[in-house]
Structure 1
Amino acid sequence: MPAIYFEITESVFFMVARIVSVVLLLQAVIACVGNGLLIAVTLRSKTLRTSCFILIAVQAAADCLRQGHKLIITYYSFTEITATVYGCYFVNLATMLAMDYCTILMLFIAVDRFIAAKFPVFYVHRTGRKYVTAVLLCCLIYTCTFKIMYYNYIVSETRIFCTTAELQKVAGNKIWFIANTTVNLAVIVIYMCLTRVTKGDRILDRGKAEHRRPPNVLVIRGQPVKLGDIPYQALIVYSDSRNETGDCGGSLISTRHVLTSAQCATRIEEATVVVGAVNINYLKHAEVRKVRKITIHPQFSNDENYYNDIAILELDIAVSLTRNIKLSNIYRIDSEYFKHKTAIVSGFGSYEPGSSEHSKLLVAANVTIFPFEYCNKVLNGRLEEGQQFCAGAKGTGIGPKDRGGPIHVLHSANLVQIGISSYTANVTEQHEISSVFTRVSHYCDYINEVTEGAAKCQ
């Protein structure tokens, strides 16, 4: 009777195992199809070939390999073969490695998102290939080390039904299995904590106020700008050929192009562009991109006149337009806007006249547009009519670090960009010796040509 009972129990076990294995195989096929689509999309789309998406694609590939243990379960369920712990561990080794590889890679993906949110400028300046390679190697070393030590620790010759669960049941009291499981659980907890912290683009120092500084410390004595008020404003942070850093302004004219001054562009060796920010220490709503290509106007004169002071930066990845990130409005026919006596300059420029430190906040100030004849006389005939104009106000206006930023007028409740900040001859007395701006309407054809139609004047 005991023998019959064992026979029935074993046959029932394998019958259930076959049913379960078929269900698991179906699940594995669905998982592999989904992972395959993710990998294919990542490889085919240039915009998705970033460090994070590459790590996710590798994790998807590892997950496909991990599904292989379901084939092993199916094989042993239908053949009714048992194996030693050694043998079972060996045939499951690749899938168990992949399983742990997926787990540890989750931690690195979470850390990657945290660094991108918390330290965006540092993140975009790292070397992408070395970064991804280092992460993948660290994960591989971790998983291989634990699994090899665990394999060498197994001494049992007990024959078992070769499934991952059975293997762990026999070897579960071994130290390396316990250590490995503990580390994996810790990784999952850390991953969940990090993703919860960064959920909804919340940065860890979310207790910081967006506007900490008093309102008298801006452009040159400007006022803080609220989020979304100037949604196309860009901050360009660059390093030059001497590895010295600097920054200037710009405006978003397409999802992949930023308009700035040629003076700024000539200094750039490598650059990062931030859009959608009003506080560079709080980038909750911002997007950060690297500059892929720089196009400087071919007739730019890099002398005291700065004629054709205009350049276009192409971003490596398109930005997403939101209510806080929009494209600049530029009109081909803009004469009526110069009838306005008041314009607005904006940027992350100096706190005070003569200060070398730039503002952490996006600020704006009202300035007066002066007649061309007056400007040209004050500046000793240096201006080119139709290409340049001047504006300023007593004690306020653009500073050196505002070069490349926009100057706008308010028209029917909308901002219209009429110029690019070029240079200032006198920071404190801009009501007398005004700052000079490049008139963007003159360069509509240039903008259309360089951006291949992505940016157009209205």
Structure 2
Amino acid sequence: MVLLFHTIALLLLLLSDSVSSQALTLNIRDNGKICSQWVKPGANGQFSVSYAQQPECISAVAFEQANGQARLCCKGMPLTTPPASFPKECGKQLYQPLRQRIIGGLIAHPNSWPWQVLVRGANNMCGGSLIDERHVLTAAHCIKSLVQVNDYKIIIGAHEINKPMYMEQELTVSKIWVHEQYTASTTANDVAVIRLTNPIKLSDKVNIICLPGAEAKSVNDTVWVSGWGRTAHNGDTSPILKQTYMQTMGTKCSTYGAASFNEEKQICASQHGVGYTCQGDSGGPLMYEYEGRWYLNGVVSYGPTDCGVGTGLPSVFARVKYYLSWIRSKMASL
């Protein structure tokens, strides 16, 4: 189905597929609505777009116009759910993530990755994963050696970083452990544990992810990554949390240019041979689902400098299972 929107807001509904149009996805939450991205008109001053029905729409799709651009919106299904239905177990979420395997990623549902946190430093931004009520796992290279602990803040419940939501919390940090054998030149042992000043209270919007066990994914398995990283080489970081799926690659990683890849300590993953993680995604989770729970398989470590767009190189992640003893020793320390 194709919709033509004139700049004076005349709506024409065509039942023919003969009109060339932009395919839009309604996946952006905005003040109770679910909207598409903003698009510009064609040379004739009209907007020609097609869209698929969004199951979470509870009203008809409508046309909105502002500043010479247009988008499609509908009234979205409420996200609020009685707290009694909150699954109080690791790796469980009340708000289910989108599962479409879209190349290049798509905007995540708010709070569908409730363990995703934003790590803010004095001059940098990274992702991280909540692994218990007081600890966050992130990448060692996200922690700057000359920056004080007080300069770091952990944001939980975040979705659109430029428009804080009511459920967001900004938390202070009491201690940070960078792996003692972390090597910046090779990014070996690229893990760090952050301790929050006070434990958080889990809710329907904030939960912890499970640490991996014997079921950990290795090769040719589907995994998911989320973050606010750049969406293009030299581009801006994404203001809205995005997600994408990838496939684990095993030892093939070294043949794709990751010369220092260590399969015991690291995981290599790509999407059709392309990494798709970029600056700003660092420290965030590489996740897999097993029997209805989500597990932390890896920590975003590094990828190609062009974010995989030109070189087609994969992304590399610190393998969480390898570091479990180290992680738990820091969590248990005074």
Q: Is TM > 0.5 for Structure 1 vs Structure 2?
A: yes
1:236 and 2:236 are equivalent in the alignment: no
Q: Give the number of the structure with larger relative contact order, counting CA–CA contacts within 8 Å between residues 6 or more apart.
A: 2
**Aligned partner (choices 37, 47, 54) of residue 214 of structure 1:** 37
CA-to-partner distance for each residue in 1:155-185, whole Å, 9 max, x for gaps?
Answer: xxxxxxxxxxxxxxxxxxxxxxxxxxxxxxx
CA-to-partner distance for each residue in 1:105-128, whole Å, 9 max, x for gaps?
Answer: xxxxxxxxxxxxxxxxxxxxxxxx
For structure 2, which runs of at least 5 residues remain unmatched after alignment? 1-29, 40-101
Q: How many Å apart are 1:221 and its aligned residue?
A: 3.7
Q: Tell me the secondary structure at the aligned position of residue 297 of structure 2.
A: strand
CA separation in 1, counterparts of 2:319 and 2:246?
16
Counterpart of 2:200 in structure 1 is 319
Counterpart of 2:157 in structure 1 is 276
Q: How many Å apart are 1:412 and its aligned residue?
A: 2.2
What is the correspondence of 1:45-194 to structure 2 with a 5 Å cutoff? none
Q: Tell me the secondary structure at the aligned position of residue 235 of structure 1.
A: strand
Counterpart of 2:51 in structure 1 is none
1:416 and 2:295 are equivalent in the alignment: yes
Q: How many Å apart are 1:255 and its aligned residue?
A: 1.1
Contact 2:219 2:250 (8 Å CA) reproduced: no
Counterpart of 2:254 in structure 1 is 376
CA separation in 2, counterparts of 1:210 and 1:388?
40
**Aligned partner (choices 99, 103, 108) of residue 225 of structure 1:** 108
Contact 1:403 1:421 (8 Å CA) reproduced: yes
Contact 1:396 1:430 (8 Å CA) reproduced: no
Counterpart of 1:289 in structure 2 is 171
Q: Tell me the secondary structure at the aligned position of residue 433 of structure 1.
A: coil
- Percent of paired sites with the same residue: 24
1:350 and 2:230 are equivalent in the alignment: yes
CA separation in 2, counterparts of 1:327 and 1:453?
19
Counterpart of 2:318 in structure 1 is 438
CA separation in 1, counterparts of 2:179 and 2:320?
12
Q: Aligned in 2, Cα 1:330/1:438: closer, same or farther, shift over 3 Å? A: same
CA-to-partner distance for each residue in 1:228-282, whole Å, 9 max, x for gaps?
Answer: 321100101110xxxxx21000000111111000000135431111112222213
Contact 2:231 2:278 (8 Å CA) reproduced: no
Count of residues in correspondence between the two structures: 238
CA separation in 2, counterparts of 1:258 and 1:220?
29
Q: Tell me the secondary structure at the aligned position of residue 402 of structure 1.
A: coil
Q: CA RMSD in A?
A: 2.8
1:398 and 2:221 are equivalent in the alignment: no
Counterpart code for 1:247: M
Q: Tell me the secondary structure at the aligned position of residue 401 of structure 1.
A: coil
Q: Tell me the secondary structure at the aligned position of residue 443 of structure 1.
A: helix
CA separation in 2, counterparts of 1:282 and 1:208?
12
Q: TM-score, normalised by structure 2?
A: 0.65
In our comparison, the structure showing a higher alpha carbon Rg is 1
Counterpart code for 1:264: C
Higher strand share: 2
Q: Aligned in 2, Cα 1:236/1:420: closer, same or farther, shift over 3 Å? A: same
CA separation in 1, counterparts of 2:241 and 2:316?
20
Q: How many Å apart are 1:409 and its aligned residue?
A: 1.2
Contact 1:332 1:442 (8 Å CA) reproduced: no
CA separation in 2, counterparts of 1:237 and 1:220?
28
Contact 2:250 2:263 (8 Å CA) reproduced: no
Q: Aligned in 2, Cα 1:221/1:443: closer, same or farther, shift over 3 Å? A: same
CA separation in 1, counterparts of 2:325 and 2:212?
12
CA separation in 2, counterparts of 1:344 and 1:430?
22
Counterpart of 2:85 in structure 1 is none
Q: How many Å apart are 1:380 and its aligned residue?
A: 5.4
Q: TM-score, normalised by structure 1?
A: 0.48
1:246 and 2:128 are equivalent in the alignment: no
Q: Tell me the secondary structure at the aligned position of residue 338 of structure 1.
A: coil
CA separation in 2, counterparts of 1:378 and 1:340?
16
Q: How many Å apart are 1:209 and its aligned residue?
A: 5.8
Contact 2:308 2:314 (8 Å CA) reproduced: no
Q: How many Å apart are 1:427 and its aligned residue?
A: 1.0
Counterpart code for 1:349: G
**Aligned partner (choices 178, 184, 187) of residue 306 of structure 1:** 187
CA separation in 1, counterparts of 2:327 and 2:33?
34
Contact 1:334 1:441 (8 Å CA) reproduced: no
